[in-house]
Structure 1
Amino acid sequence: MGGRRTGLIRARKAAIYTQESLAHALNMDTKTVGTWERGEAEPVPYKRPKLAKLLGISLAQLEELLAEGTSGVLAEPAAAVEPAAPSPAPSTPRGGLLLPVMVNGRPVLIPLDAATASASELGPFLSPALVAGDEASLPAAQAAEWDAMSPLTRRSLLTHGLAASALPALGLDELGRVAEAMADARRYFDGPVLDYFGRQLAACKADDGTLGPAKTLPLVLGVVGAIEEHARDVKPDIRRDLLRLGAEGAEFAGWLYRDVRDFGRTLYWYDRAIEWAQEADDPAMQGYVLLKKAQLAFDEREPLRMLTLAQAVQRGPWSLPTRVQAESVQQEARAEVMLGATADAVATKLDRARQLLGARDDGASTLGAHYNDTLLTMQTAICYTEAGAPRRAVELYDESLVEDRFSPRDYGFFLSLRAGSLALAGEPDEAARTGVESAARADSTSSRRTKQELVRVLEHLRPWTNRPAVTQLREVIAS
C-alpha cells in the first residue's frame, strides 16, 4: 500500500475529529482509521459515502485523497491562515461572511472570510443569506461604525474572525480591549477579558433551551476557538484559568452536538474538555464529563457503557457536588433496568439519588446547577419506562411535566418521552397528540434528539398505524 496519507489526516482535523471520534461516528475501531491514514488499508466501499460526508468533502475528493497517498488535496484548516489587513474603506470581501456585533446597541456587521468560518465549523450554522457577494450588503450606518473603529481593532477582529463571532454585545471601548487581547494575548489577555468570555459562555447556556443548538453553537465555538487559539500565548498565571473556562465551553459544545445527534463531534469535545480540565487541575470537571458520556451512552442505547461510566463518576478521585452524584446514581439505576433489572430492584438507588439531591453542598461549584427535583422525577419516569412499567412513568409525567418548569427545548424532549410511555401503556391517541405537540417544540429549537425519540414513539405505535392521530404524527415527523 501507499505511504502516510497526510491529505486524509488534514481532512479529518479540518472536520474537527480525532481518530477515536471519527471511528465512533463510523461505528468502527479506532485502529482501522489509523490504517487508512498510514496507507495500510482502504475504507470498504459502503463506508466511503458516510466518511466523505463526515469529513465535509465530496466522494470524488475522498477517492483522490486515498489514491494520492502522501500528497493531499486539502489545505491545513483555514483557522491557521491569517486574512489580509482590511483597507480603510468599509468594504466586504467577496465570498466572505458578515457576522453581527453589537456596538452601542446597534448591530455592526464584521467581515469574516468564508474559508475561516467553514473550517471553524461556523459555516453549517450560518444562513446562506449571510454570504456577502457585493459591497452594497453593508448598510451605510453600519459601514460608518466599522470605519470609526481604530485600524488596530478592525485588523485584529478580521485576523481573529473566529473570536469576533463570539462578541455579540460590546461597546466600542470593550471591543477595543478584546481586540487588543486577540492581537497580543501575552500582554492584554488579562482577567477582565477572561471574565468577558466567561459571561458570554454563561449567556449562551442561559439561551440554549430557547434558541437551540443551531443558533447557540456558533457563539460557543467562537468562545472556545478564541480560548484555544490564545492559550499558548497568555501569561502562565492566566493559562490555567483560561483552560478551565475552555473545558467548560468544550463540555457545553459537546452537549450542543449531542442535541443535534452528531455523536462523533460530541465525543471530540468531551475529550477536549477532559484534556483541558486535567491541565487546569480541575478534577471535578473530569468527573462531570464522564457523567455526560454516560448520558450519551443512553442516547445510543449502550447500557453497559452507561453503567460503567456512571459508576466511574461515583468512584473517581474527584469531589463532585451532591446534585451531580445524585444524577450519576440515577444513571446507574437506569442502566441496570436496561440490562434487565426490575423497577423494584433499583428502587433503593432511586431513593438514594433523591436523598443526595436534597443534601446540602459544601462547595461553591456550579457543575450540574440545573439539576433539580423535577429533572430527577423526569429521569425516574424514564427509568420506569425502561423497566417495563410505562403506566408508573405516565403518572410521574402527569404529576411534574409542567411547561413553565422547563425551557422550550427540554419541555419538548420530555413530551416525546411521555408520548412513548403512553404508547407502551396502550393509549395510542393521547400518545400521538403528545407527540405532535413535542414535534412543534423540536422544530423551533432544532432538537434532533427530540425528533429521534419521536421516531421511537412511532415504532411503539405501529399496532395502531391507521388511527387518524397516529397518521398525523407520522406526517408531522416526516415533514
Structure 2
Amino acid sequence: MVALTWEVVSEQSQGAGMGPRHELKRRRKALGYSQEEFALTLGVATSTIGRWERGEIVPRDYIRPKLSALLRVTLAELDTLLTPENPECTEGPTKQDPHGTAVSYAASDDYLGTGDLDAMIRRDFLRVLTVTGTFLTLPVESNAVAEDHPGDVPATEELAAYAAINSSLWQLFSCATSKKAALPLVRDQLNSVTGSLTHARSDREHRQLCLAAGDLFQLAGEVFFDANKYTDAAQCYTLAGGASREARSPDLWACALVRHAFVSIYERRFRDAMPLLTAAARLAQRGDSQLSTRYWVAAVQAEAYAGLGELDACQRALDRAEEVHALNGVVQNGGWLRFDGSRLAEERGTCYVVLGRPDLAERALANALGQSLSPRRRSGVLTDLAALGAQRRDVDQLLSYASRALKLASQTQSGYMVRKLDGLQRQLSPMRSDKRVVDLSDQISALTTVH
C-alpha cells in the first residue's frame, strides 16, 4: 500500500512546483547546440531537453555530471541553471536547512520522484541517520552493568528481535517490485535501534546494537542505490562502515566497503573503487573464513579491473571468486551478505562485455540466461546481450534482447535496470541510421525520464 501511494503522488507531482529554465536554454544556445544536437550528445530524447527547459522534469542524478561538462559549468552552477525562474515555484527551504554532522543533504531533494511525500520521507530518513550515527560513537554510560549481569536477559531478547526484523526487511527489499517501499520501515527500525543505543547497559550490548545499525545502514544504502541516488547511498555505506567498526565485525565492515565501491564503479570511476576494495579484502581476511565475504570482494574487484581494461587481473579475480563453491554450510546470511556464487556467470559475462570480448561474454551470458533469474537479474543479462549486438553492429541481436529488457524494466521500475539500459543507449550512436535503433533509443529515453 505504501508503494502504491508513492507512485500516485509521484505521477501527480510531475512538473508541480516548477517553472521555466530560461538560463539553461540560453546556455545551451550560447554553446551552439540545437535541442537535437544536445540530446544526441547526451544520449536522451530531444523531447527530454524541451521538458528540462520548460521545467516539467529535472535531469536524473547520474546524468548531471555529463550535463554539467557539456554546458561547461560546475555541478553547483548547474543547480543554479536548473532553478525555476518563477520565484513562487522554487523548492522549499530544505536546501538551506542546517546539515547534521554525520550526513549532508544531496544536491537534489527529488528522492525517487518529485513528490512532496518522497522528499519528506527522504529528509526524515537523513535526520534519523544523523541521530543514529551520533549515538553509535557515544561511550556507554559509566554505570553500565557487568557483561554477565542477569539484567542482560531482556536485552538479549530485544537484540534477537532486532536481528529477526532486519532479516525480514532484507527479504522485503529482495522481493519487492518497488524497492523504495522498504525505506519507511528501515527508518522506523533505525529509530528503535537508536532508542536502545541511548540506554545500552554494557559494551557487549552496545556492540550488538551497532551490528544491527550497520546492517540497516547497508539496507538503506541499497534502496538509494537501486534508485540511482548515489550520494545518499554512499552516505549510508559510510555510516555502515563506522557502525561495523564499533561492532568489531570485519565481515560487516568489508561488505559496507564493497557496496561503497559499487558507487564508484557505476559512475565509471574504477580507480576510485580500488582502494575501497583493497581495504575490504584485508578486512575479509580477518573475518569468518566460512563466510563468502572475501569471494564477493574478489567478484567486485573483477568488475573494477574490467572497467580499467585489465583482462588478466579481471580473470584472476573471477577465478578467486569461483572458490566460493568450495565452502560448505551456510556461506551467506541473505541480508548484508548475499553472495553465494550463483551470479558469477552473469557477472563474468558483464566483465567480458565491458572488456569488449564478445567471444568470452556470450558463452557466460548464455549460461546465465539458462538459470532461474529474478526479473531484475534477467533484465541485466538481456541488456548485456543487447550490448554485444551493439558491439558487433548486429541490429537484430540488439533489438531482440533490448526489447525484452525494456519490457522487464518497465514492469519492475528498478533504477538498476534503468541505469543498465542507459549505458546501452550510449552505444547506439554508430547505428542511428537505422530507424529501429532510433526508436529503441527513444524508448530508453522515455523510460529513463519517467524513472
What is the TM-score with the length of structure 1 in the denominator?
0.59
Q: What are the residue-to-residue correspondences of 1:441-460 with 2, within 5 Å?
A: 441-460=408-427
Larger Rg: 1
1:207 aligns with 2:172: yes
2: CA distance between counterparts of 1:213 and 1:233?
A: 32
1:218-262, Cα deviation, whole Å (9 max, x unpaired): 222222232134311243353322221111111111112111111
SS of the residue corresponding to residue 342 of structure 2 reads helix
**Counterpart position of 2:226:** 259
Shift of 1:187: 10
**Counterpart position of 1:239:** 206
1:221 aligns with 2:187: yes
1:323 aligns with 2:289: no
The 3 A distance-change label for structure 1 pair 117 and 335 is closer
The answer to whether the 8 Å contact 2:332/2:340 transfers is no
1:120 aligns with 2:128: no
Q: Name the aligned partner's letter for residue 408 of structure 1.
A: P
1: CA distance between counterparts of 2:417 and 2:118?
A: 31
SS of the residue corresponding to residue 357 of structure 1 reads helix
The answer to whether the 8 Å contact 1:429/1:470 transfers is no
The 3 A distance-change label for structure 1 pair 76 and 423 is closer
Q: Name the aligned partner's letter for residue 360 of structure 2.
A: R
Q: 2:237 aligns with which of 249, 263, 270?
A: 270
Shift of 1:397: 0.9
The 3 A distance-change label for structure 1 pair 441 and 276 is same
1:338 aligns with 2:307: yes
**Counterpart position of 1:289:** 256
Shift of 1:188: 11
Q: What is the aligned-residue identity percentage?
A: 18
Aligned-CA RMSD value: 3.9
The 3 A distance-change label for structure 1 pair 62 and 251 is closer
- Unpaired runs of 5+ residues, structure 2, are 1-61, 66-74, 102-116, 128-150, 447-451
RCO higher in structure (CA 8 A, sep ≥6): 2
Shift of 1:375: 0.9
**Counterpart position of 2:361:** 393
1:252-282, Cα deviation, whole Å (9 max, x unpaired): 1111211111111111111111111111221
1:332-388, Cα deviation, whole Å (9 max, x unpaired): 2332332232x356433322321x212226887637653233311111111111222
**Counterpart position of 1:142:** none
1: CA distance between counterparts of 2:187 and 2:180?
A: 12
1: CA distance between counterparts of 2:414 and 2:430?
A: 27
SS of the residue corresponding to residue 235 of structure 2 reads helix
Q: Name the aligned partner's letter for residue 340 of structure 1.
A: G
The 3 A distance-change label for structure 1 pair 240 and 49 is farther
**Counterpart position of 1:377:** 345
**Counterpart position of 1:350:** 318
Shift of 1:471: 4.0
**Counterpart position of 2:130:** none
Q: Name the aligned partner's letter for residue 194 of structure 1.
A: L
1: CA distance between counterparts of 2:260 and 2:223?
A: 13
Shift of 1:195: 3.0
1:403-456, Cα deviation, whole Å (9 max, x unpaired): 6x2222232233223322332233222223322222333233331121121122
The 3 A distance-change label for structure 1 pair 25 and 347 is closer
